[in-house]
Structure 1
Amino acid sequence: MKKPIKQIAFMCFILPLAISLAGCGANNGSNSNAAPSGSASSPDRTQTADAGNAGEKVALRFSWWGSENRHKALLAAIDAYEQKYPNITIEPEYSGFDGYYQKLVTQFSGGTAPDLTPLSVDWIDDIAVKGDLVLDLYTLREQLNLDAFDADFLNKYTVFGGKLVGLPMGVNGMVIAYNRDFFDRFGIPEDTKWDWETIHAIGKRVHEQDPNAYLLASLEVRGFLQPYVRQQTDKQWIEDDKTLGFDQDALTDALAYYKKLLDDGVLQPLAESSLYPDITQNVSWQKGDIGMSFGLASTLVALKSVHPSIDVAAYPIPANAKTSAVLVNPSNPLAISKASKHPEEAARFANWLLTDPEAALLLGDVYSVPPVESNAELLVQNDKIDPTVAKAVKLALDNPGDPVNGISGNQELADLATDYLQQVGFGQLAPEQAAQQLIGRLADKLKDIK
């Protein structure tokens, strides 16, 4: 069994932050039990994974969402694979995130889903568990080098009911991304230890100094509401028995805090922030009038494309928190549709994309830190991992919360919570009313979820 993912983070994922790249390179592979695809130490598995690609011509559809950097990297990887295996054609289908989930669900429902697609961890329950629409990758062991992945990490995050529903494109974690220029402008120390009260106090001061400036652009259900409540309860948002993991007092407290941030100018007004589904499109962010954002490590490259001075800090954790609730997850587990006519060929491509050193060099950090240790080390040596991304993953892995269970990531439940968060934000409901109504709506919806 390979080393736990947290230990890996302290070795070569993060070492460039503390020592030179050459220092990490000196230990390359010395502590790794899993050789990359194509290496001399794993010839049998690699030959098994690649076998059959020289046969009939096969076309596979590969769909994903993301930034322009991700699109370019994946297209380059597809081109390299097609040159390596001329009988395989990979048809790319890509877009931004907005509307992607709805499109994907429609495709799965209509039997037109792509052969391969990364899943958001929030969709696993709907698509992979309840929907049972993707293959159990354990059935494709002959085409996949599963030994290249940390078994504990897979078991914890992408195995449900004994089925491996996807292979992680990377390792991700929730952090604070902040604009160093903004912090310098308002005299905010970069070593600030953030908790919820510190955010309010500093954010209020910032807005008083400049009415056009806000510490935060927006807060969302999965990045704020769920972890805020979980820090109080140490329970899942929705328990496995489909009961709520919180009471009305805990939810009211979270919504009241959210309203206080808006009232005191810590948060940009919803009438402004809601115009931009992506913070990089937010005019105030582009102008440098927003100081920080909660996000996953994989979003940092896009944030830095607007402000190169972006750095990261640990997610807010109050001193009395029962758990950190810091989200650590597999970055977009790559799944294969049950409707695929070529599952073995799809698995071979997935195996190459996620385990081969050539693919790793092409993808870089567009899915955060690679899940295969040897490839992460390779990217460190070749300066292909943005040090800010590596730092972010380390920060999240330093104090991770327990994995979010499948039902807590249900999209319909998240949409309900989002609706009530917005009603509080727009002043349509008081926090107490919103908490009471949301609890009732969630309870009703849970009765319908099989």
Structure 2
Amino acid sequence: MKHTMKWIQMVCICSLLFVVFTGCSTGGGGTASQADGGVKPAGKVSLRFAWWGSEGRHKAILEAISLYMSKHPNVTIEAEYGGFDGYYQKLVTQFAGGTAPDLTPLSFDWIDEIAVKGDLVMDLNTQKDNLNLSAFNSDFLNKYVVFNNKMVGLPMGINGMVTAYNKEFFKKFNIPEDTKWDWDNLHEYGKKVHQQDANAYLLSMLDVRGFLQPYVKQKTGKQWINTDKTLGFDQATLAEALTYYKKLLDDGVLQPVAESSLYPEITQNITWQKGNIGIAFGLSSTITKLKSFIPQIDVSMYPVPQNAKDSGVLVNPSNPLAINKSSKFPEEAAKFAGWLLTDPEAALILRDTYSIPAVEKNSQALVEKQLVDPTVAKAVKIALEKPGEPLNGISSNQELIKLVEDYMQQVAFGRTTPDAAAQEIIKRLNDKLKAIK
């Protein structure tokens, strides 16, 4: 029943996306579009800024908004914020109805649907005079937030995938903290942990972004899905990855999916909270949250085999801040976005709420003043030592990722074999890719 409801939800989202891509992206809906420059601000300007996150993030952004409005009394910024669950569905619905906010961060997974295919956000190259783009590393922007020559957003921070580990757990099970992880020793150590304590697991839930895509990319050196919409892997490589995944489950290295799937994220996982999970693969922006229950967290490099053709280490901008293409006040929205992400005063308020700031001058100042979590700063530094080739837009397509995750779950529960799942995934991905415009 739960699986059926999830499928219905995905159908609804896809239907909404169809409405968005075929309707709103053409400039319909009665609001001012980028093409006519929007409504020129005369007197009072009102902008809507929506985001998701933790209570700490909410408080920091609200403080920054208040400071900006005190400096610009003609500008009112309406804050709309909440948790991550349901945010994507809500945003897609708002775009479909012409009621999306003026500014919102985008999860990197959404860029293909909303910014590239949907063409629903502004090309920030058109607002260079208002954004202070020179404060950013131009190579980083071009590599991570420019798609089809369109700058879809500005990074709220820099994110990198690392191995976050519980120091006390490692001490308890005699795991050296300086271990250079690969997939072989991860299995070996994890198996020993579970043999010593049946309630302990080296790893919790693994998903497509945090495991399957990097594992396959390390084998192939290619994109998960190529820009010509062909797959960057073959059936044998995918089956090998799924076989390894099943071995982790069978040998007690990985917490059973029947347990881990009860929690939307690892910080809510009771086993993690009790200190009975040793490692979480995650982005640097999640470390502060991981520490809320396990303060003794440290970080090391994501597992990379010696013969890897690509490190598979995910580095990306933390939630690129995008401007609605139909904003009535695009220039004022750009001015606020530029201030929020480049101004030193704003950086002092936001600190590491979106990991380390992407503006190097601001990040250095925060580190020197010890205003950011040193573990977060360390995580970003580690990830940037060996970054993988950035994922292209189609490889982050939400519908395609959901399809693969469903088969990972079937493998986990023994409903299908890794070989059969690999064959079916390739068939269904190819069918889906033919339908994507």
Per the normalisation by structure 1, the TM-score is: 0.87
CA contact (8 A) 2:41 2:329 kept: no
CA drift of 1:94 comes to 1.4
| Residue matched to 2:13 | none
Change (3 A) 1:112 1:54: closer
Between 1:349-358 and 1:378-387, the stretch displaced more is 378-387
Matches within 5 A, 1:148-159: 148-159=135-146
| Residue matched to 2:381 | 394
CA contact (8 A) 2:40 2:329 kept: no
Distance 2:102 2:86 in 1: 19
Distance 2:293 2:68 in 1: 31
| Residue matched to 1:318 | 305
Between 1:67-76 and 1:275-284, the stretch displaced more is 67-76
Answering whether residue 325 of structure 2 is matched by residue 338 of structure 1, we say yes
| Residue matched to 1:231 | 218
Matches within 5 A, 1:127-138: 127-138=114-125
Matching residue's letter, 1:123: W
| Residue matched to 1:14 | none
Structure 2 residue matching 1:223: 3-state secondary structure: helix
Distance 2:41 2:407 in 1: 54
Distance 1:440 1:104 in 2: 31
Matching residue's letter, 1:238: I
CA drift of 1:438 comes to 0.6
Unaligned 5+ residue runs, structure 2? 1-38
Matches within 5 A, 1:158-177: 158-177=145-164
CA drift of 1:55 comes to 5.6
Matching residue's letter, 1:101: Y
Matching residue's letter, 2:407: Y
Answering whether residue 66 of structure 2 is matched by residue 92 of structure 1, we say no
Among candidates 398, 402, 420, match of residue 433 of structure 1: 420
Structure 2 residue matching 1:400: 3-state secondary structure: coil
CA drift of 1:295 comes to 0.4
CA drift of 1:184 comes to 0.9
CA contact (8 A) 2:69 2:75 kept: yes
Matching residue's letter, 2:101: P
Answering whether residue 245 of structure 2 is matched by residue 270 of structure 1, we say no
CA drift of 1:291 comes to 0.6
Answering whether residue 323 of structure 2 is matched by residue 350 of structure 1, we say no
Distance 2:414 2:328 in 1: 51
| Residue matched to 2:411 | 424
CA drift of 1:204 comes to 0.8
CA contact (8 A) 1:54 1:87 kept: no
Among candidates 116, 124, 127, match of residue 140 of structure 1: 127
Distance 1:433 1:368 in 2: 39
Distance 2:128 2:51 in 1: 24
Matches within 5 A, 1:96-111: 96-111=83-98
| Residue matched to 1:207 | 194
CA drift of 1:198 comes to 0.9
Matching residue's letter, 1:314: M
Cα deviation digits, residues 178-234 of structure 1 (max 9, x gap): 011111111111011100111111111111111111111110101100010010000
| Residue matched to 1:183 | 170
| Residue matched to 1:45 | none
Cα deviation digits, residues 70-104 of structure 1 (max 9, x gap): 11211111111122222212111112222221221
Matching residue's letter, 1:286: Q
| Residue matched to 1:385 | 372
| Residue matched to 1:77 | 64
Distance 1:246 1:60 in 2: 44
Among candidates 287, 294, 318, match of residue 274 of structure 2: 287
Among candidates 84, 91, 105, match of residue 118 of structure 1: 105
Distance 1:406 1:439 in 2: 19
Between 1:205-214 and 1:66-75, the stretch displaced more is 66-75
Matching residue's letter, 2:208: V
Distance 2:123 2:248 in 1: 44
Q: How many percent of aligned residue pairs carry the same amino acid?
A: 69
Number of equivalenced pairs: 399
| Residue matched to 1:251 | 238
Matching residue's letter, 1:368: S
| Residue matched to 1:57 | 44
Cα deviation digits, residues 248-280 of structure 1 (max 9, x gap): 000000000000011111111111101111111
Cα deviation digits, residues 78-137 of structure 1 (max 9, x gap): 111122222212111112222221221121122111110111111111110110000001
Between 1:222-231 and 1:53-62, the stretch displaced more is 53-62
CA contact (8 A) 1:55 1:87 kept: no
Distance 1:85 1:434 in 2: 56
Matching residue's letter, 1:384: L
CA contact (8 A) 1:54 1:85 kept: no
Distance 2:366 2:283 in 1: 19
Q: CA RMSD in A?
A: 1.4
Structure 2 residue matching 1:362: 3-state secondary structure: helix
Between 1:62-71 and 1:361-370, the stretch displaced more is 62-71
Answering whether residue 393 of structure 2 is matched by residue 406 of structure 1, we say yes
Distance 2:197 2:81 in 1: 40
CA drift of 1:159 comes to 0.8
Distance 1:318 1:99 in 2: 36
Cα deviation digits, residues 14-50 of structure 1 (max 9, x gap): xxxxxxxxxxxxxxxxxxxxxxxxxxxxxxxxxxxxx
Matching residue's letter, 1:130: K
CA contact (8 A) 1:53 1:85 kept: no
Answering whether residue 206 of structure 2 is matched by residue 219 of structure 1, we say yes
CA drift of 1:381 comes to 2.4
Structure 1 residue matching 2:73: 3-state secondary structure: coil
CA contact (8 A) 1:53 1:88 kept: no
Structure 1's consecutive aligned runs of 4 or more residues displaced over 4 angstroms after TM superposition are 52-55
CA contact (8 A) 1:125 1:410 kept: yes
CA contact (8 A) 2:52 2:81 kept: yes
CA contact (8 A) 2:190 2:201 kept: yes
Among candidates 27, 30, 55, match of residue 68 of structure 1: 55
Structure 1 residue matching 2:280: 3-state secondary structure: strand
Structure 1 residue matching 2:292: 3-state secondary structure: helix
Cα deviation digits, residues 236-255 of structure 1 (max 9, x gap): 00000000000000000000
